[in-house]
Amino acid sequence: MAQCVENKTPNGQKNGRERWLRLRAEAVRLAKRLRFGRGAAVLGQFLYDVGFWGEYTARRLARGGWKACCLLGRRCARVWGRAAGLVKGALNTGAQDLTAPFARMANGARNIRAHVQEEKQAGTAHAAKEGLRYFALGVHKYFPLLGRAAAYVLPLAALAVFGYTVHTVLEYNYVLAVEVNGSVVGYVQTEQVFDSAKEEVARRINYAGAGEESWTVEPSYQIAVGEQVLDENQMADAILQSSSNEIQNATGLYVNGELVAVTTEGDRLRQELSSMTAPYEDPDNPNLTVSFNKEVRCEDSIYFTSTIVPVEEVIQRLHGEEQGAVYYTIQTGDTPWIVAGSFGIRVDELQAQNPDYDFNSNSGFPVGGQLTISQAMPYLQVKRTLISTYQEAIPYDTEEQQDSTLPMGTVQVVQEGAEGVAEITQQQVFYGDSSTPSETTVIDRVVVQEPVTRIVAMGQYVPAENIAYLSDGSTLIWPVPAYRGISRWMIGSSGQIHGGVDIRAAAGTDILAAAGGLVRIAGYHPSYGNYVVISHGNGYETLYAHATRLAVRAGQTVTQGQVIAYVGNTGNSFGYHCHFEIRLNGARQQPRDFFPNK
């Protein structure tokens, strides 16, 4: 039984198994020789089994995959060979079917010629008769070949006819045929053109005064093939021509899209419109555009005879007024605000219409006076649009940098500022003869040169003798840092004789805020002159007097060291100095106690 199993095993698998058995035996002997422990032997046996069965399985899978690929390739080759043979046979059969009639015809022609040559010995008539008989026999015998050839030729011919038909139909120009009362009056390209033509017809009918009851024109359309199409105005002419004999060629004047007049002298009307704009045109100025304040166009077309008027009337309307001037007589109890409100305008607009009246004076609004509410507006005004370019300066910014090496209150320019340049393109609109633009719009702004920032260093250094430390940890600084000359200190325990310290300094010297806070007072006092009082929020206030001018205002918040005034000689003063007071909860304090080294 074991022998039978051995014979069924493939030779490659048998040899591989025997090889691995030998390797396994050698590994076991080596393990015994090295006297490994029991755990190592078990681990080695496990790794060996894993490697053996892994390789064994991989080999079997690779061999099985290769056999499957070979089998699939052979089957695909057989299928491809059969398909190629069928296609080749079909092509050969088709070629033979197509060429067989012509080959038989050529062969038959040669045979007929040879047969006729042989039969000429019995006479020409006999030869001709035999030739016709031979031809008839050939046609009867080989006629089925023509049917087989037709089976191939007819589908190809049908496909060619179908392609030609589709190409020809797609090349057709499909348009809309417009009909009036069942008759085609023309063709338009799209439904939008048809709708615009209907609207134009309606405008002309309404302008002629014909109502829906007395005039009914209801054009319709259907898809057709055509070459020449009409635009909306041409189609409107065609519709009117087909529906009435009360029309003729004329020129219509359209203003803002509405038909306002019809005349037969279109050339003169156009000349008049040109003469209105000609005085304002300048061919040498490409930036100037002259037009009208309304959209104006002349359209040569078909119009109702009843709507035609002399061209003089049309010209008179062009130069006439659209709205007359509106005036109002001042009544008792009227005020500019009451009158302006009753007409829905602003007081400044009413004042602009009446520059001879002074609404701010008592006599500037007299009873019985006549006010102009609005000026007369012309029907058509010339509009000038001017594009111009100019340059404007771009102001520079100032950047302040704190410098601890400079004395407090010192300002030093690190970099001078420079203005930039911007090129402005604007559009101005003028009406009539006015030289003042009614509208100004900036349409472009290009920076030609960027501004240069001005940089200044702000001194932050304060000598120890100029700093006073308060109980809450805050500080006061000497208000005139560069000067220490004292004309007198506070006199009297509460400053009743002299309430502060007088610091001698040159006129215009900066006076600095001793600490940050809120400016409570900034004004003038008979004794103090120009003075400032700052509340520091911790019970302390400081006062600075006799300034030539102030640099802050009441209610402003300032920081320590900020310039608040400039040394002067105002009020009860007999020389340039800064009178400086320190107050705590309203009581004057001796400045010498805060700045003992001065």
Tokens of 132: 């016709």
CA distance 31 to 27: 6
Instruction: Encode pLDDT of 155-202 as tens digits.
Output: 777 777 777 666 666 666 778 888 877 778 788 888 888 888 888 887
By the 8 A CB rule, do 390 and 448 touch?
no
Task: Provide the token pair at 399.
Answer: 């950047």
* 114/122 Cα distance (integer angstroms): 14
CA distance linking residue 251 with residue 264, whole number of Å: 6
Which pLDDT belongs to residue 211?
Answer: 47
pLDDT at 40 over 70: no
With both helix axes pointing from N to C terminus, report the angle between 311-318 and 266-277 in degrees, rounded to the nearest 10. 20
As a whole number of angstroms, the distance between CA 387 and CA 426 comes to: 6
Q: Can you give the pLDDT at residue 13? A: 57
Confidence band, pLDDT 50/70/90 cuts, at residue 289: very high
Cα 137 to Cα 6, 50, 112, 140, distances in angstroms = 79, 88, 11, 5
SS3 content of the chain, % helix, strand, coil (to 5): 40, 30, 30
Q: Which residue has the higher pLDDT, 99 or 269?
A: 269
DSSP string, 74-128: HHHHHHHHHHHHHHHHHHHHHHHHHHHHHHHHHHHHHHHHHHHHHHGGG-HHHHH
Distances (CA, A) of 489 to 470, 501, 512: 20, 4, 19
Quote the CA–CA distance of 51 and 125 in Å, as a whole number.
103
Residues of the chain above pLDDT 90, percent = 35
Answer for the pair 408, 477: CB distance below 8 angstroms, yes or no. Answer: yes
Q: Is the dihedral of CA 178, 184, 186, 188 positive or negative?
A: positive
| Residue 8 pLDDT > 60 | no
The CATH number that domain 325-375 falls under is 3.10.350.10
Q: Could you give the CA distance from residue 134 to residue 113 in angstroms, rounded to a whole number?
A: 10
Token duo for residue 146: 């023509």
> Fold identical between 383-457 and 466-594?
no
Encoded amino acid at 574, one letter: F
Residue type, 425: T
Give me the mean pLDDT over the 43-54 stretch.
Answer: 70
CA-CA distance, 582 to 444, in Å (whole number)?
Answer: 57
Three-class DSSP category at 222: strand
Q: What is the mean pLDDT of residues 474-482?
A: 91
- Cα–Cα distance for residue pair 288/286, rounded to 1 Å: 6
Burial class (CB in 10 A: 0-12, 13-18, 19+), 426: middle
Sequence ranges of the domains in the chain:
1-33, 36-171, 176-284+292-321, 325-375, 383-457, 466-594
Phi, psi values for residue 400, rounded to 5°: -100, 130
C-alpha span between 465 and 455 (Å, rounded): 30
The CATH superfamily of 466-594 is Glucose Permease (Domain IIA) (2.70.70.10)
User: Is residue 288 over pLDDT 50?
Assistant: yes
Indicate the Cα dihedral angle 342, 344, 348, 354, nearest 10°: -60
Cα(398)–Cα(363) distance, rounded to whole angstroms?
50
Helix (H, G, I), strand (E, B) or coil at 503: strand
Which range, of 42-51, 272-281, 589-598, averages the lowest pLDDT?
42-51
Average pLDDT over residues 54-83: 83
Structure tokens at 415: 């970099």
Q: How confident is the model at residue 3 (pLDDT cuts 50, 70, 90)?
A: very low
The confidence score (pLDDT) of residue 424 equals 96
Considering the segment(s) 383-457 as one domain, its CATH architecture is: Single Sheet (2.20)
pLDDT of residue 213: 44
Q: 426 by DSSP, 3-state: which? A: strand
- Confidence (pLDDT) at 363: 76
Whether this prediction's pTM lies above 0.85 is answered by: no
pLDDT bucket at 568, cuts 50 / 70 / 90: very high
Dig out the tokens for 370 from the structure: 């006549």
Q: Assess whether pLDDT exceeds 50 at residue 7.
A: no
Q: Are strands 247-255 and 296-304 parallel, antiparallel or unpaired?
A: antiparallel
The rounded distance, in Å, linking the Cα atoms of 564 and 517 is 12
pLDDT tens, residue by residue, 301-331: 888 888 889 999 999 989 888 766 788 999 9
The number of residues making up the chain comes to: 598
- The string of pLDDT tens digits covering residues 398-439 is 998 988 888 877 789 999 999 999 999 999 999 888 888 988
Query: What does the pLDDT read at residue 141?
Result: 66
* Residue 387 or residue 257, greater confidence: 387
pLDDT of residue 409: 72
Tens of pLDDT, residues 84-121 = 777 777 667 666 666 666 666 667 667 767 766 777 67
Give the Cα separation of 586 and 589 in Å (integer). 9
Q: How confident is the model at residue 585 (pLDDT cuts 50, 70, 90)?
A: very high
Percent of the chain residues past pLDDT 70, beyond the cut? 80
Q: Which two tokens stand for residue 417?
A: 């500022």
